[in-house]
Every structure is written in C-alpha cells, then in structure tokens.
Amino acid sequence: MSIYDTLNEPQREAVFYTDGPLLILAGAGSGKTRVLTHRIAYLIEERGVNPWNILAITFTNKAADEMRQRVDRLVSFGAESIWVSTFHSACVRILRRFIDRLGYENRFTIYDTDDQKTLIREVCRKLDVDTKVFRERSLLAAISSAKNEMIMPDEFELNAAGDFSKQKIAKVYREYETQLKANNALDFDDLLVKTVQLLETQPDVLENYQERFRYIMVDEYQDTNTVQFRLVRLLAGKYRNLCVVGDDDQSIYKFRGANIRNILDFEHEFPDARVIKLEQNYRSTGNILNAANGVISNNRGRKEKTLWTDNGEGEKVQLRQFDTAYDEADFIADDIRREVENGAAYNDHAVLYRTNAQSRMFEEKFIAMNIPYKIVGGINFYARREIKDILAYLKTVDNGRDDLAVRRIINVPKRGIGLTTINRIQESADERGIGFYEALLAPELIPGVGRSSAKLDSFAALIEYFKGRAQEESISDLLREIIEKTGYVENLEADDKEDAEARVQNIDELVNKAAAYEEDCQDRGEQARLSGFLEEIALVADIDSLDEEQDYVVLMTLHSAKGLEFPHVYLAGMEDGLFPSYMTITSDNEEDLEEERRLCYVGITRAEQKLTLTCARRRMVRGETQYNKISRFIKEIPRELIDTGHKKIKEGQDIPVQNTYAHAKQAFRTQAFAGIGNRTAAGTGSQPFSVLQKGSQLTAQKGGKLGYEVGDRVRHVKFGEGTVLDIKEGGRDHEVTVDFDGVGVRKMFAMFARLVKV
C-alpha cells in the first residue's frame, strides 16, 4: 500500500499537483502538515527532484521541527538537504553569507524586543524626544509597521511632510536605523527587509537562490505580511513552482502586520494558480465544527468553505454565564479538578482568553486548588535579567560592535564604573566616529574618566581574554568560564539570597541549552558556532516553550493558541466589550470585527472533544465595574448546538446565571444584591438573573436636575446611545447606570459622564 493511499481525495490532489502556482485552502485540523510533508516526499521519490531544490517555510520553530521530523520519516534519502525553516531562520542563513554586500559584517547581532526598547530609549534621549508624548512602544510599532511594508526612512520622511508627529517619528526611525548599523545589528523585521533588499539589488545572489529553491512551499500563508510576500515572489520568480497553504478564516495577526489580502488575492497575483480546498477536519467533533462554521459564516471577506468531520457529533457546546468573573474562574477551576478526578489529565485542558490580564484570576484559583498550570506568553526565559546578562557577554565576545551588549555588562557584576563614565565613553566614541567597545580599548584617549581608566582597561582585557577562549573551547565551556571569571553567581547571592537560587537554576539551564545545541550540531555534522547559538536563541518564540509532555493546564491568549489543540478548551470572557473588544465594537471598520470573529473561530477550533464558553455579567476592568452583554459571537452559534446546563432556553431569553461559590459566599452575595432580581442555582430551571429589573430599589431614584431620568434615552460622547437604568444620589454627584447599545452597562458619575437626553 502506498503512503499516498492514506490521504483523502483533495489531499492527494494537492500532493500530486507539483508544477506551477498552487493555493491550498486548508481549514482548521484538515491535515495541512500531512499534505506538505507527503508533497515533499512525492517530489523527491516520484518526480526525482533533488532534496536541496526544495524550500519549506513556516512561522514557528515548533511547526518547522514537526515538519522536519515528519519529512525525515517519509523520505529515505537526502532529507537533511531540504530547507525546512521559519521565515526568519531562512533569512538569517542567507544574510550570514551575503549581508556584507549591504555594508554589514556577517557576524551581526539579532536584537530582541528588549534590545529594541533599550536602543529606542537611547535614540529618544539623543534626539531629545519626549517619551511621554511619543511613547517608546508606539515608536517601535510605527517603525515595525513601516518595515513590514518595505518603507525605508527616506520614503517615510517624504510621506510625513506636513505632519509634525510623523516627522518626529521619521527622525527617530532614521537614527534608530543608523544606530542599528553602527552596532552591526538587525532587529527581527530587518531579517526579512535586508534579505529582500539583498535579492533585489544583487542579481547574482537572487539567481543563486532561485536555482537553489526550484520548489517552494509556504505554510500559514494567511499570516504573511507585505515583505514576506515580496520575498516569496522573488524566490519563486523563475520557476514559479510555488505552493502556499493557509486558511483566510484563521488570519488573526493584523496587529503584527499580517496582510490577509496575500491569500485572498493569490489568484490575482498568479492567474494560472490552481486552488484546492481541504474541508475535512480530523481534530474536532461535529458540534464543535458546526459552532465554528456558524460563527465564521458571518464574515464577508473570506473564501467560502465549510468544515466537516467523520468524528461524530460529540457533546454539545457548554455555555455558562456567571454573576462575576470570580464565579467564572471558580467554575473553570472546579470543572478541571472534577474531570481530573474522573481520569482526565491536566494537560487535556486549556483556558483561552482575549487579554493577558484575564489570567490573574485563574492563577489565583489554580493555586488555591493545587492545580498545576503554565502561562504561555509570560516572561520568556531568555528575557530574564540573569539570562540577558550572560547572553550580553556572549554577544560582546561574538560581535564587539554591539554597543548595547557592551554597555549592559560593563558594570555587571559591579566594577565601580558609573553612569558618568559610561556617558563619557559614549561621547568620546561618537566624536571619533567609532564604536563603544573600540573606545574602551584605548581608555587613555577618553577625556574625564580619570581613575576609572584602569577599571575600563581591566574590563576590556577580560573580554579580549574571552574572545581568545571562544576560539579554543566549546560554547558550554565558554559559558562556564564567563560565569566563573566574572563572579556573577557570587554577586547574585550577595545581592539577594532569597532570589539567587532560582536565578542560578536559570543560568544552569542556559548552560544545558548550550550543551544541547552542541549535541544537535554534532548530530547534523555541523560545527557548533557561537553566532549560531545566539541566533537560535534570538529566534525562539513563546509558543516554542510549550512542553506537551508536561502535565499542567495551559493558560494563554487566543492569539498564542493558534496551531495548538486540546481535548477540552475553555473560552473565557465571552462578553461584548471584552470579546469582541470595546475598540472593535465602536470602530467603523468592519474588517476589525471580522478579524475578532476569526479569532473566535480559531479559539473554537482548538477544541477536540469538548468546548466550554463562559462569560460574566459584571467584571472589573481597569478598576471600573462593567456590566457586559453576552458576546455577539455566542449568539451566532446555532442554538441547537448549545447546552446551558438548564432546561431549554427560548429564543431571546437570557441565559441563567451559574452559581459556584460556597453557601456562605452565596448568602453574602444575595444580601449584597437584594432587590436586583432572582438568582438561579445551576440546573434549577428558575427565572434567570435579570440585571437591574424595573421597580427594584436600584431604579427607584429619579434625576430631574440632570435633564434626564430612569428610562430615558441618552447619548455619551464615547459610548454612544443607551437607556438610563438607575440614578443614585450621592454626596456630591449622581451615580448613573446606563445600558449602552454598543458596549453594555456602564456606571459613571453624572458630572464626568455629561450625558445628553435624546
């Protein structure tokens, strides 16, 4: 039996179509990785294509590793010659060989997000830019957005004519680029931008890689941005054997620069392209898929497709609405504990949410109930202080032009080199047109350093010693020597004994990482290089830290969850104003709401067997209690697919509130909210909880002096129109509760609200 007999008909069609442009529209869980790997095997074993003529690109190291392993199992000869990598890794390999054509040294440093923030702060200080007006984060976002569109400083400055703010950003952008080049460093966007510039300006380099990569496959094509599209188009320009795989319904990274038009307009760019749809889902049950189909069908900007499965209908989608976010977290934690007691594993469960801030309540509940968990997308291991310090030593050894790295460690551990001395070194370097480290090599030429000259000389001698050792010993041995010679661990223990143990363990883990990298290089028959080790670390993503073998509940944002799957998924905070977000609801751009809906679709399709949707009627957001309507996305799910835990709910009727607190807490809540309305214990089938029922004590107050009263329609400058539910007379002002049409219930003081009767 052939390996291709295990594929369904559309999958086989995609595997066997090898010449010319091909768009594979692969729905969630439809086996796209299986198709790509079998396609590679078919090209090599049936079509006689050389393995080194194949390039397969995806977005995460995790996905690339999985594809590599599958290819190795399928292809008997030459699999190691296939380029299977992320966009950034592929670009780094190209730039390591040819970036000198663009005026950089080949041993460049890759700056992570923290490095970028440090650099932008220095740029703002140099240009006297007020970071209270021009936020560092906003400046970096503007620069990244420009690079994603291949807009360089000259063009950016030209486009900014007549706009003071944009002109200021243009100056920051230009200086930022100047400093990057002076440090012989690239940020993540540069890895793509410089590769495109290289291919567009160096015909022989372009010819080399077009000949090398005669067959190109791109995974997750819906997530590509403009510069990635240009890169792919350049590489595939000669032979046009370009196969892209993606799902426009899972395009959720617009904020990172992803351009959904790349996949929607593929046939326009390649009129002779073949389009094949993969709609059979192998992951989820029928009810989960029908819920996903029901939601995503409301989007207009999409290519029509409908997921289906042979897995059976499965359980209905569980929907639970609670009084508060505390109740919501309590229910989810208790539900996970109950399932584990019945034989499930902790890692069968994932809690997904729209914003990082939602994780706090779940963490508190999980800790209280001794439920092991891991937050994906928290502090990256390589962003921890002690790891950044040690890596800065390695970066300085590898690339002395990296001023950020040198400045980070010049007084770590403390050597008595103060900020004044560091500033004088920088000023001297700037005046002489040389780098910070180069100035350090001749401290006697730096004015005003005085007695610090000997300390600077000692530090430079230490770095030069490490540079010499790097040529003679392994990376792991070099790491150990740096830690020992600098006395870094002893300094940690002296500064903070309580925190030192955990930090030392992190340093030990970094040494383990270096040893593992060396072993991997040995297995591949490659030389373990310091620059290669730093490169691998720089390209690590948060999702790559997820260990699926460990038994813990996963907490993560919906954006982080893409590409993953779990037996039981909880989508928490399904409320208008939270998901979809308030900004989306109030936006005039329909595309923003469609992106949020795609995010919901992604969340739903992460579930294999069971999906639970939860929401709360009131939630504390930025210190303000908000009363939220149930998410419009829930209302787009066919009612027959939903189980609320109560008797059948009629169309238009509220979902009963679930109560999970202990009796004492329930009694306290009932007393605190006396008169608001009837509560329902889960499963009783009583009347649902109705917020602020007419005639209750909270709606008894009138507000004649305000120009409006309970029941009137009013307009708010930010929230739009709504109905006044309650007016309370306070000491100095009236507290007004309004049910706004777009964002739900809000409580506010009349003086600040400035409501106008309509």
List active site positions. Answer: 32-33, 219-220, 250, 606
Beta strands in 59-184 (DSSP E): 83-86, 109-111
Token pair for residue 155?
Answer: 């063009």
CA separation for the pair 536, 48 (Å, rounded): 32
Strand, coil or helix: 694: coil
CA separation for the pair 496, 508 (Å, rounded): 18
Q: Cβ distance 29 to 283 under 8 Å?
A: yes
Beta strands in 660-749 (DSSP E): 713-716, 720-729, 734-740, 744-749
Q: Cβ distance 74 to 40 under 8 Å?
A: yes
Token pair for residue 307?
Answer: 């997921």
CA separation for the pair 626, 744 (Å, rounded): 8
CA separation for the pair 633, 268 (Å, rounded): 32
- Name the nearest CA neighbour of 72 among 63, 60, 82: 82
- Half-sphere exposure of residue 92, counting CA atoms within 13 Å on the CB side? 23
The label of the residue with tokens 């617009």 reads: 254
Amino acid identity, residue 577?
G
- Name the nearest CA neighbour of 395 among 188, 116, 183, 86: 183
Q: Cβ distance 731 to 723 under 8 Å?
A: no
The label of the residue with tokens 């779990």 reads: 566
The distance of Cα 594 from the centroid of its chain, to the nearest Å, equals 19
What CA–CA distances, in Å, run from 498 to 494, 495, 501, 523, 705?
10, 9, 7, 40, 60
CA separation for the pair 116, 380 (Å, rounded): 16
Q: Cβ distance 483 to 389 under 8 Å?
A: no
Query: Residue length, the chain?
Result: 758
CA separation for the pair 384, 373 (Å, rounded): 20
Angle between helical axes of 136-148 and 188-201 (0-180°, round to 10): 30
- Name the nearest CA neighbour of 565 among 505, 621, 599, 609: 609
Q: Cβ distance 734 to 750 under 8 Å?
A: yes
β 657-658/642-643 pair status:
unpaired
The Cα diameter of the chain in Å comes to 85
Token pair for residue 508?
Answer: 């030990």
CA separation for the pair 693, 705 (Å, rounded): 23
DSSP state of 732: S
Q: Cβ distance 639 to 651 under 8 Å?
A: yes
DSSP state of 4: G
Token pair for residue 749?
Answer: 């003081």
CA separation for the pair 630, 680 (Å, rounded): 17
E strand or H helix at 553: strand 553-557
Token pair for residue 92?
Answer: 């780094």
Strand, coil or helix: 522: helix
- Half-sphere exposure of residue 43, counting CA atoms within 13 Å on the CB side? 30
Give the burial string for 423-439 (b: 16+ CB within 10 Å, else e). Answer: ebbbebbeeeeebbbbb
Output the CA angle 415-417-421, nearest 5 degrees.
Answer: 170
| C-alpha torsion 309→311→312→315, nearest 10 | -110
